[in-house]
Structure 1
Amino acid sequence: MSPSLSVVSELPRSEALSHRVRRLQVEARGLAREHIAALVAALHEVEVLAGEIADGGEAYPAGVREISRRLAEELETKVATIEAITSRN
């Protein structure tokens, strides 16, 4: 025999709703910071990879090397901008 279930109309409130909202907002901001940090780390990886291809010599087509060089330069600036914005918040 399975245990019987009952409907609970109200969950116990261990904290005021306004405190819960603030706590969840703080948690959401923390998760957003983690997500941004993951983005920055991924962009750094792409920057390194693009730099390696840009400096890869004749094994890579000239157009790919040029795009990779520009991408590496742009990513450096974009990452710096993201870091500056997040440091202000």
Structure 2
Amino acid sequence: MPRTTKKPDLHLVTDDTPTTLSSPTRSSPITPQVESAVYDLMRAPETTAERVKRLQAEAHALALEEVEAMNRLLAQAAERARDIAAGGEAYPVGAREIAGRLATELPQKVETLRMILNRAG
């Protein structure tokens, strides 16, 4: 028996309004993300150079996100260190001393990272 393959009824939408994929059995909405995925399937394959460039751009963006997250954590740590340094007798003397130094140093590090991110971004 010969196999017959029925081509799907796909529609490319140029605006953000959802449309449907029609098939004999069901109809389902297409979101813009699905639409772009369908469009990407219809594009010619990437060359190796294009793929390398795209992956490098993704890696760069992810690295910037990681540094931004670290910077937020350092800012939070500086705030916590200030609280501990000012916490009085409830905290051990050595802990207050280290927290005091961190409260002084971390905001400078946060600002330095912020400037680096602004140049890199």
Partner of 2:111: 80
Question: Which letter maps to 2:80?
Answer: L
Specify the structure having the higher radius of gyration (Cα). 2
> Which of 63, 85, 95 is 1:54 aligned to?
85
Q: Counterparts of 1:17-56 in structure 2 under 5 Å?
A: 17-56=48-87
- Per-residue deviation at 1:33? 0.8
TM-score w.r.t. length of structure 1 = 0.79
* Percent of residue pairs identical: 47
* 3-state SS, counterpart of residue 63 of structure 1: helix
TM-score w.r.t. length of structure 2 = 0.60
Say if 2:78 and 2:102, in contact at 8 Å, map to a contact too: yes
Number of corresponding residues? 77
Say if 2:68 and 2:117, in contact at 8 Å, map to a contact too: no
- Per-residue deviation at 1:17? 0.9
Question: Which letter maps to 1:32?
Answer: A
Cα distance between partner residues in 1 of 2:60 and 2:119: 14
Q: When you count strand as a share of all residues, which structure comes out higher?
A: 2
Q: When you count helix as a share of all residues, which structure comes out higher?
A: 1
Cα distance between partner residues in 2 of 1:29 and 1:72: 30
Partner of 2:14: none
5+ residue gaps, structure 2: 1-43
Say if 2:85 and 2:100, in contact at 8 Å, map to a contact too: yes
Cα distance between partner residues in 1 of 2:72 and 2:53: 29
Structure with the larger RCO, 1 or 2 (CA within 8 Å, 6+ apart): 1
Partner of 1:8: none
5+ residue gaps, structure 1: 1-12
- Per-residue deviation at 1:86? 1.5
